[in-house]
């Protein structure tokens, strides 16, 4: 895999047994191993999506998590996002749901939508 933690883009050789990383080589700094272990054992992503707004200036308001969440939680997160109906004005950066799914990140608006 290619480490994406900095522009050097080191090519990492990763040995995996039963879903666990047992060795990493090829990185020019310790961040390469940290990246490889996280990416294989608990990959995370920033989730971006939209939520439905009612009687606001936008019909759909773009949102994202303000930190990465485990990929295994993406479907659960999308199910929660589909339930949301925004009825009050929101501004860029406003939290829509704090501590989203108990994951320690907030779901925040990335555009304003007003009454």
**Which residues sit at the interface with ligand SF4, rule CB under 6 A?**
3, 5-6, 8-10, 27-29, 31-32
What does the chain come to in residues? 115
Which position's Cβ is nearest ligand SF4? 32
32: number of Cβ within 10 Å? 23
Residue 3 or 108 having the CB closest to ligand SF4: 3
How far is 106 from 68, CA to CA, in rounded Å? 10
Cβ at position 10, least distance to ligand SF4 in Å: 3
Torsion of CA 91, 73, 104, 112, to 10 degrees: 0
Cβ at position 95, least distance to ligand SF4 in Å: 31
Cβ at position 71, least distance to ligand SF4 in Å: 20
Residue 37 or 60 having the CB closest to ligand SF4: 37
31: number of Cβ within 10 Å? 13
Residue 31 or 82 having the CB closest to ligand SF4: 31
Number of separate helices (H) and strands (E) present in the chain: 2, 9
Residue 65, beta-bridge partner list: 107
Cβ at position 81, least distance to ligand SF4 in Å: 32
Residue 4 or 92 having the CB closest to ligand SF4: 4
């Amino acid at each position: 895999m290619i480490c994406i933690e900095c522009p050097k883009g080191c090519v990492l050789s990763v040995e995996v047994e039963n879903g666990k990383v047992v060795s990493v080589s090829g990185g020019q700094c310790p961040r390469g191993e940290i990246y490889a272990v996280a990416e294989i054992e608990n990959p995370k992503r920033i989730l971006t999506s939209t939520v439905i707004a009612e009687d606001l200036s936008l019909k759909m308001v773009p949102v994202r998590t303000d930190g990465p969440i485990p990929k295994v939680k993406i479907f659960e997160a999308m199910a929660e996002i589909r339930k949301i109906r925004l009825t009050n004005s929101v501004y860029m950066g406003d939290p829509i749901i704090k501590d989203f799914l108990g994951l320690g990140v907030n779901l925040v608006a990335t555009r304003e939508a007003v009454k």
